[in-house]
Amino acid sequence: MQFAMESIDLNEKFDLFQDHWNPRIVASLNGQDVKLVKVFGQFVWHSHAAEDELFFIVKGRLTMEFRDRKVDVEEGQMIVVPRGVEHRPIANEECWIMLFEPQQIDHTGGVDSPHRVEHCERI
């Protein structure tokens, strides 16, 4: 798969969708997808046995809940969740996130949930 070497306007991409918890792929590199997602409310508790995840907060605020603590992640900040660590993202208001994830990742860690998306759209 070959891509044009052009800049990507994240705000334009975020304007293309309104739904929550449905990541869209905006770029790929080195076996990773760069995804954009809007979130609101609580996601499911889950973990990824073989993949780390990077969450960069573009707009808003996210609380990353772990079984033993919570970490608030503000606009312009990021958090990396290591493989095998159970976590649950929570957004009390709409939050825009850029994710860096391996292409083969199941974003709910195999947990059956209404939030589960099996194939992410490329925008």
Residues 87-113 pLDDT 10s = 999 999 999 999 998 887 655 555 566
81: containing domain: 22-106+116-122
Task: Count how many domains the chain has.
Answer: 1
Q: What predicted TM-score, i.e. pTM, was given to this entire model?
A: 0.85
Residue 5: inside a domain, yes or no?
A: no
Residue 8: inside a domain, yes or no?
A: no
Residue 61: inside a domain, yes or no?
A: yes
pLDDT at 14 over 60: yes
Phi then psi dihedrals of residue 7, to 5 deg: -70, 155
Residue 81: inside a domain, yes or no?
A: yes
pLDDT attached to residue 116? 62
Residue 3: inside a domain, yes or no?
A: no
**In this structure, what CATH number is given to the domain that contains residue 97?**
2.60.120.10
Residue 10: inside a domain, yes or no?
A: no
